[in-house]
Each structure stands twice: as C-alpha cells, then as structure tokens.
Amino acid sequence: MVSTCCRNNILEVFALSMLLVFSSLLVIASADFYQDFDITWGDGRGKILEGGQLLTLSLDKASGSGFQSKHEYLFGRIDMEIKLVAGNSAGTVTAYYLSSQGPTHDEIDFEFLGNLSGDPYTLHTNVFSQGKGNREQQFHLWFDPTTAFHTYSLVWNPRRIIFLVDNIPIRVFNNLESNGVSFPSNQPMRIYSSLWNADDWATRGGLVKTDWTKAPFTASYRNFKASACIWSPNSSSSSCSSKSTASAQDGNSWMNQELDAPGRNRIRWVQSNFMVYNYCTDFKRFPQGLPLECRRSRFL
C-alpha cells in the first residue's frame, strides 16, 4: 500500500507534469476586452466599450447575454472587477466562472443571485470536478456590490482553489485526490460570464419573480487580469513552470498560494459573519454522512 505522504508526492509530480505538457506560457493580461474575450451570445446585449476597457452585459425579457475568454487556462489567478445589477435585481443571475466542456467537465463558480431593492445579493459558489458539483457555499457580502466595482478572484493551483473578494479569502477547496475526492487538475478551462433570467429559483427559491418593468438589467466589468498558464495541446514548453517559479519573487506566487495567518483570520471572519449556506453542515441533505472533503479540510 502506498503511504499518504507518497501519494501526495505522486499527486504533485503528476500535476506539475500536466502543467509542463499542456501549458505554453505564463501570461499577465490587463483589461483589453477586445483582445481577451469574445461576446458569445445576446444579439448585441453584450458590449465592449471605452476602447476595450469596459464590458457590459444586459438582460431584458427577450434575452440575456454572455462572453467567454479567447484562451483556455490550466491553473492561474484570475481577477475581474464587476459592478452588479442595481435596484430590483430579483430573478437575475450574474455568473462568472471557469469551466471546461463535456459531461465530465470541471467548473469553478461565482454566481450572484439578485434580490429585491434593499435586500442583499447572495453570492453562490460551487466547485465541479469530473462532472460532479453539489459543493455549494453561499454568502452575503459586507458591502453593496451594485454601487461600485469590486474585485472577484479565483486562485487555482495544483493544491487548492481559493475564492477571494477584494483580496479577502471567502472559501478554500483543497486538493484531496489522494483521499478519493476529485479535484479540477487536468482539464483546461475558459473564463465565462453571463447575465440571465432564473426567476424559477434564484430569489427566495423562485418565490420572487423578475420585474421586467425594471429592464434592461446591466452588469459591468473592467480591469481583467490573469496571471495564468495558457493551455496549448501541441506544446511541450516548460516556460510556464519556470516563470511560475520566478513569479514568487514578483509577488505573483499563485502557483503555491495558501492561506497565511492573516488569511485564516479573514476567512474565519467571512464565514462566521456572512456565510448563509454551507453544504458541509447540511446534515439533512447528506443523511448517510457528509462528503469526505468536509471531514478532511478545515476551510472549504
């Protein structure tokens, strides 16, 4: 039998070897939405403005809209400033996430569930691996996300996924493949965002419907940054790995990023004061026992 220590070492070697095979370079991109993204649907409801520095998505009764990144990534740090739909946003969902394709896809989600004016947005997070999700955590934010831009970040490396809001960690999902828990470690993912109507479930379980007299609803994006490995199926370049090592000296140490003591204090503050749902405490949902990762990781 292989020891846990050895399995962990084998796992790290495998993840880094996948990085060498499938990733071509470390890219640091700043907001030029023309360069980095394509509007993929919405029949003109998605717009790139201000010379590529601003992107907006709109939703009306006929359709929502969405965009996706031109590149696929295999590990990285992704930052985006977003200002959400203001006013009565009940029934609307602004989704911002990483995803691969296919029935066994991987996915890392931010979803912002709208609400009546004056009530807080619900920030819904989830992690899919090999087509399996059901790892939801939900939060209310400590600010109004509709009055100004705020930064929503995903750190994804071979050891963990960290969700951050204005650089404050709110959730960590650790790689526990050695314990039989699947983890997004070998499927490249694109960045996606969409604004769409989900009034059958988004607000109070579908009890509050979208008020179309308030349409169009609009979300705005700016200052996209990616310090990440661009996936290339035909490349065996090791430049991503070498630059990832060097990036620690430049303050871009996402490849090995974990929570330090201040980060642990911040995530405790968020989860104690603003978490409104955690699948790892939902015993009614899992009467046969909580998922394995809930018993193995302190922060999920």
Closest CA to 266 of 296, 227, 299: 299
Give the DSSP H or E segment for 271. helix 261-273
Closest CA to 162 of 257, 84, 73, 243: 257
Of these residues, 12, 50, 81, 107, which one is catalytic? 107
Q: Which residue has the tokens 């990781």?
A: 297
Q: Are strands 150-156 and 160-165 parallel, antiparallel or unpaired?
A: antiparallel
**Dihedral sign from CA coordinates of 163, 276, 104, 100:** negative
Three-state helix/strand/coil letters over 202-230: CCHHHCCCCCHHHCCEEEEEEEEEEEEEE
Q: What share of the chain is helix, strand, coil (3-state, %, to 5)?
A: 25, 35, 40
Q: Distance between CA 200 and CA 197 in Å, rounded?
A: 8
Of these residues, 50, 72, 81, 111, which one is catalytic? 111
CB 75 within 8 A of CB 19: yes
Annotated catalytic residue 81: no
Annotated catalytic residue 111: yes
Strands (E), the chain: 23-29, 37-41, 47-49, 54-59, 65-69, 73-83, 92-99, 107-113, 122-128, 137-139, 150-156, 160-165, 168-174, 190-197, 217-231, 275-278
Annotated catalytic residues are 107, 111
